Structure 1
Amino acid sequence: MNMLKKAPLVAIMGATLLPAVAMANMHGHSSIGPNQGDREFSLSGTGSSSKDFDNSSFGISADYGWYLSDRTLAGIRQSISYADVEGEGLTDDFWNGSTRGFVDYHFGQNAARPFVGASLGAIYGDGVNDTGIAGLEAGLKYYLLPTTFIQARAEYQFLFDSGDSASDNFDDGAWAYTFGMGLNF
């Protein structure tokens, strides 16, 4: 009789522990993250605004890539940004875009995966001269599910028209930050 009273409690405890065991298995070495040959799609955003919201900008970036190995991702990135700039006698809107190829190398095999990489491509639009763009990047992906992650990335980008101007312009680069999510398939 005493055992019958405890049976519902044991069943509830077992049902509660089952998802925890499943999550522990999901975060194991071989079940989380990409494998060689997998593809990846991610969507990230960025934005900024002055304290009075006079000058604002926002952007979106989409990445599509292929895993050359479990750790090396090569792909293409499309970014679009909008800026609303106000000043003395100046009110203007700028649309800019960039298309870049990139290669990233990922470290670790757990849910948190730091990465470093580089990109090369072109920038174009209203607020910039159409020109080449190159950059170095670092970031972190965190897998919430075996194939779904959130990510943060910082890119140091510089513009150039030729090989000579690339080395001259490296010191005049700018930082770009993004936060988003993605999936492997």
Structure 2
Amino acid sequence: MKTFKKISIALCASAIMIPALAQAQGMHAQGYGPKMGDREFSLSGSGSSDKNFDSGGFGLSGDMGWYLSDRTVAGVRQNVTWGSVDNGDDIWRGATKGFIDYHFGHNQVRPFVGATLGAIYGDGVKETGTAGLELGMKYYVLPSTFVQARAEYSFLFDSSNSAGDNYDNGSWDYVVGMGYNF
């Protein structure tokens, strides 16, 4: 439970600091980013590790989202990863998740926080549900084109009871990529 508290405090502190960072940028970039009703597609390279960084892998992540407001995007994400397991065979894994992210500010720099819920499948994992919290940053290099970095802490579950039990045994996923609003 100590790990849960530390992660929760770190995520809350980060969420509080992100709007201040966005304001500190001082950039007034009208015309950058999406508006309500726009769609978004992004393609990212991903990496993951267990909480001790003993095993890890790399993969590809594709997102398709719809803006519910100028700041809120909801969508579907597909991940495919290949991994190397400490003292084991290489594996592949897939995950299909729904996500919702809230973006801060209307500048070229857009920090965001969000949540995911979906399913994970493949070698080395039990086919089961997954949920997580994420935070990241988008930087608009053109009015509709951005580069992004995102980190997600996710955990597996097959019932509501196991969700609480498994939170401390989660993993970190990281992505860096590009996207486009249309």
In 2: Cα distance, 1:136 partner to 1:86 partner: 26
Q: What 5-or-longer segments of structure 1 have no aligned partner?
A: 1-26, 50-54
Unaligned runs of 5+ in 2: 1-26, 50-54
Q: What residue is the counterpart of 1:146 in the other structure?
A: 143
Match of 1:164, SS state, is: helix
Q: How does 1:15-94 map to 2 (within 5 A)?
A: 28-47=28-47, 57-85=57-85, 87=87, 90=88, 92-94=89-91
How far 1:174 sits from its partner (Å)? 1.2
Secondary structure of the residue aligned to 2:164 is: helix
Q: From 114, 125, 128, give the equivalent of 2:125.
A: 128
Scaled by the length of structure 2, the TM-score of the pair is 0.78
Give 1:99 shift: 0.2
CA-CA distance at 1:48 after TM superposition: 7.3
Residue in 1 that maps onto 2:157: 160
Structure 2 contact 83–90 (Cα < 8 Å) conserved: yes
Runs of 4+ residues deviating >6 angstroms: none
**CA, structure 1 residues 61+31, in 2 after alignment: closer, same or farther (shift >3 Å)?**
same
Amino acid at match of 2:74: A
Assess if the C-alpha contact under 8 Å between 2:29 and 2:108 holds in 1.
no
Deviations along 1:115-135, one digit per CA (max 9) or x if unpaired, are 000000000001101000000
Deviation of residue 167 (structure 1)? 1.0
Q: What amino acid is the match of 1:132?
A: G
Distance 1:86 1:173, change over 3 A: closer
Aligned pair count reads 151
> Closer, same or farther in 2 for the Cα pair 1:110/1:116, shift >3 Å?
same
Q: Identity of paired residues, percent?
A: 64
TM-score, structure 1 length as denominator?
Answer: 0.77
Post-superposition shift, 1:84?
3.5
Distance 1:134 1:179, change over 3 A: same
CA drift at 1:142: 0.2
Amino acid paired to 2:148: Q
